[in-house]
Structure 1
Amino acid sequence: MWRSLRPIGRSGASGGYRRYAWTGADAECRLWFQAQAEARGLDHEVDRNGNQWAWLGDPLRGDAVVTGSHLDSVPDGGAFDGPLGVVSSFAALDELRRRGAVFTRPFAITNFGDEEGARFGLACVGSRLAAGQLTVEHAHRLRDGEGVSLPQAMEAAGYDPDAIGPDPERLARIGAFVELHVEQGRALDIGGDPVGVASAIWPHGRWRFDFRGEANHAGTTRLADRRDPMLTYAETVLAARREAELAGGLATFGKIAVEPNGVNAIPSLVRGWLDSRAADQDTLDTLVGAVERAAREHAEKAGIALDVVRESFTPVVEFRHALRDEIRRVLDAGDPHGTGRPVPVLGTGAGHDAGILSASVPTAMLFVRNPTGVSHSPAEHATEDDCVAGVLALADVLEGLACS
């Protein structure tokens, strides 16, 4: 499975992946998912929001156990973020069949669409739409860097954009959703554990900072006469790092757009996107507020106009304690990795479909060790042994939840 999926959407230049929503690479990933489902005799379907489902048993019975993740990527992303969860789900089903496990509840594997938000700037579009956390009107306004709207992209890919929207009937079928994911950090590696259980997802969001100055000639305009928004943006980037260190949170400017974007032109507009996360809401509010105040102070001194727009936000997600504790009990009882220690429980600053769905259905997450902690990069990695450990842990969890 891994070998057949690995080439799809991979850049020869960077070695990273460019699997953006509703593109050719995305279509190939969807065909791959469908083929894996059909090879196992599962019923494949695509819901109104473009999310894929592979069903074993009658979904209309309700109380289904669902697992899976996503197959799209950030720009030049790694091979594990998202796909590891989908591949492991199919592999866990294979393992359960090898054991002779008998399913007593409906079971499904899913691939949620546009989780990373790389094309339209909003993460978890497929699960947000299904859960009613993204309105149809807002979704229809989303546009990529080329000005292509989400409806246009969906229609070009052969899907009906007018059908998107909340899907409470489908979510009501789910009794538990468990997502396996590569850890995006080094907590498991430091502790020497191949697999862990998630406790919570930090609150996080994306803010757009628009710095507007005056375009002018780079070779003839005196430094004293310039209204250069790039300088104010640079001061804000440095302020974000300082404030994050003070608050104990995270603040990153990782995307920028410049107009007119000429080598010999002073910019008229610098647009930067802030990604900020923290362990609790108060810390996040303090951190983002401090970054915005610093940006406005620098902008006022330089004669730069500034607009700040919050483009997305996800509050803290505490995974359902009863489900989390049941998963820990199953894994601790088996001690499949021979550590002799309870399975570790850890929080994460990364958003996931499981976090979005947690407001509608009981959700939980498993993490697989990442020896370097690097993620959203071609250097993202997990060893084969740890990936297998993740599959076996997921199989144990699914057997405990869905089988007699």
Structure 2
Amino acid sequence: MKKVYLSALALLGSAASLFAQDAQMRKAPDQSPVQQATPGRACATMEVFESQLAADPARAQRMEAIEAQTRRYLAQPTMLQRSTTDGTTTITIPVVVHVVYNTAAQNVPQAQVEDQIRVLNEDFAKMNSDVNNVPSLYAGVASATNVRFVLATRNPSGGVTNGVVRVQTKTRSFSSNDFVKYTNKGGSNAWPRDKYLNIWLCNLGQGLLGYAQFPGGAAATDGVVCLYSSVPGGTASNYNLGRTATHEVGHWLNLRHIWGDATCGNDFVADTPTQQTSNGGCPTFPKITCNNQGDMSMNYMDYTYDQCMYMFTAGQSSRMDALFAVGGARELLKSSDGAKAQRQMAVVPMSLYPNPASDVLNLEIKGKARSNYAISVYDLRGQQMTQARYDGDGHVQVASLPKGLYYIRIANGTEVTHQRFEKE
């Protein structure tokens, strides 16, 4: 296990050699041909960081200041003895998803956007169904984090939003040059980073799955970019469970690749093992490198297939927490009003029956066509229950739900209501 922090200043001083990316992560031209093949997980975060260091000498100083604040935070023993159940405040971050599409297939529907938010919340809360696959060697350090995500309900002007911005573009595919983050370059302008996490879903060229901006970069480009087909249920083979967003949001929260982007490198986290390089596919555990007891290839910050990454560590979680402490680079997000509507949203006149229900829950929405509404079901913890299916004509199939209490959410962008029901 890594026990010593390298000096971030020294590290930044040799960024060109220490943070070199694989050749597959070179920038794609803005008008490169559409490409859906994803032979391996390609993340351009470090390449983008290197470019920022070269273009802005002050970027290294800002990153060193963030690392110094992180080290001070981690030096406080009480801060390290924490979990999401010990009273530590959970940080809920409003998210705006910019769906930038050239074709209809790239226009990710609302249901898949919401499913991506669900995956983020499950992964960051250690509530993912595959967490039990963590090898016993690392089960003790697998950890929930204190970060949660919710689609924004209030836009920067104070109006009501569903948390999704849709922009049709003439650009066939984007690269890591940040054009997708600018309306005048075929993309969509970022919302204020002190109030929102910006996620751009678009078509990326040259096999890129995504990239993120570390804290301390420019506000106009702050956020995460993901291949549109990497969302849950997308078409990116082996990368369509939503873990690309988990990986990239990890970077946005100041996590490095687990191998430290160098041979047996350092990711600044004490409870992750040193490993030689990235892992792809689904490695058989243990894969021993750098005299460790087995690479932590199942960590979200490695390069494995979506189905083979399923954990953060306590050290990674604490590193995220430092961003929200006093003086942290993302502290202002704690007071964001992006998830609070300025005005009370109109209540949908609705009734449902039978309640309790065993197989089918029937909806009666007065005054407007039922097909105009988005219907979703959540448990009392706020987790969306994807096994409950709405047929678009007033019937919600609930037979697959476990017995218990739930609430149903009905919304059309300007009207919303929640009503509780029981599954018997």
Shorter-chain TM-score category?
under 0.3
More helix by share: 1
More strand by share: 1
TM-score calculated relative to the size of structure 1: 0.23
TM-score calculated relative to the size of structure 2: 0.23
